[in-house]
A and B are shown apart, each in its own frame.
Chain A
Amino acid sequence: MEFNTNFILGCSAIGAGLAVIAGIGPGVGQGIAAGHAAAAVGRNPGAKSDITSTMLLGQAVAETTGLYGLLVAILLLFVKPLVP
């Protein structure tokens, strides 16, 4: 039983590490959004505040998928649903 619990904890840690790989997607997406926003400000500096708020809204929505991965990792590490 002892072995089993430790084995499950170790596997949970590996699973948590794999789950936060989900962070790659939002990273790329937010970078693209920020790059295009910078280009837009360069083209039309007068609309800077509008562009910034639109960019932040889009980035925050894109961040959600990464946060799901983080949530899975936190659940695996701290709530330990798989340990009997």
Chain B
Amino acid sequence: MEQGILLSESTEVDFMIHGVFSYELFGQTVWITTTHVCVLFVMLIIMGFCLAANRAMKKAEEVPKGFQNVVELIVEMLDGMIGGVMGKHAVTFRNYIGTIFIFILISNISGLLGLRPPTADYGVTFALGIITFTLIHFNKFKHQKVSGVLKGLCDPWPIWAPINIVSDFAVPISLSLRLFANILSGTAIMALIYALLSKVAIAWPAALHVYFDLFSGAIQTYVFCMLTMTYITDACTTE
């Protein structure tokens, strides 16, 4: 295990989460990890963009130019995407879907900035999945009432209720695992290339970054938001 492999200078393959420091809280050791640090960086980027956008929109003009164009383009794109899927429910969920879209997108492509993408930590994606799960069931009870939910549970026959419950709970798990595994595989492959081919990894890994960080990250963002919207619209629909 101590020998280098062929083209590598070191055998260190490192794409794991590291602890930065820990503290005691109610007898539990709580670790602040690299994920927290990267989430903070992502937040800083988003907040900087928001402040700039706010300033640009304060002196907005009838005919947009420069940065105002960019902001309007983003908002119109998100509006179009959400309105196309959710129809009349779009007004309620526009803010939430737009927020998670921007957060996941910036998180996924933060690998380009040398950060470890926060979405390659199951804690982050599972939290997003739990929020989606809560929204689905809150809206189910709000729009279909208790009787509608019970009728949905006993869909073909009452004997199917356990299977329906399992499939309800599978939604946030599969949603979060899909995002997590996609980003983690990209991070792992890039780490393997940099560690094991370190002597020849000059310039050409940039092409792989475009695929694993930009393309895969954007697609997975789109898929996560699309599925969230589809599930929520399903829950809001009453027969």
Contact = CB atoms under 8 A, between A and B. Distances in A.
A67 B226 contact: no
Interface residues of B, number: 15
A73 B227 CA distance: 26
Interface stretch (B49-57, B65-73, B160-168, B177-185): B177-185
Nearest to B81: A53
A41 B122 CA distance: 37
B184 A57 contact: no
B219 interface: yes
Contacts of A53: 222
Interface string B213-229: 00000011011001100
Contact of B178 (A56, A67, A74, A78): A67
B220 A60 contact: yes
A70 B181 contact: yes
A71 interface: yes
Contacts of A63: 178, 182
A67 B182 contact: yes
B16 interface: yes
Interface in A47-84: 53, 56-57, 60-61, 63-64, 67-68, 70-71, 74, 78
B16 A67 contact: no
Contact of A67 (B181, B219, B222): B181
Interface string B195-239: 000000000000000000000000110110011000000000000
Contacts of A70: 181, 185
Contacts of B16: 78
A64 B178 contact: yes
B188 interface: yes
Contacts of A67: 177-178, 181-182, 185
Contacts of B227: 61
B95 interface: no
B22 interface: no
Contact of A68 (B181, B188, B219, B223): B181
Interface in B112-165: none
Nearest to A9: B1
Q: 8 tightest CB-CB pairs across the interface, nearest first? A: A67-B181, A60-B223, A64-B178, A71-B181, A70-B185, A57-B226, A56-B219, A60-B219
Interface of B: 16, 174, 177-178, 181-182, 184-185, 188, 219-220, 222-223, 226-227
15 contacts: A53-B222, A56-B222, A57-B222, A57-B226, A60-B220, A61-B178, A61-B227, A63-B178, A64-B178, A67-B177, A67-B178, A67-B185, A68-B181, A71-B181, A74-B185
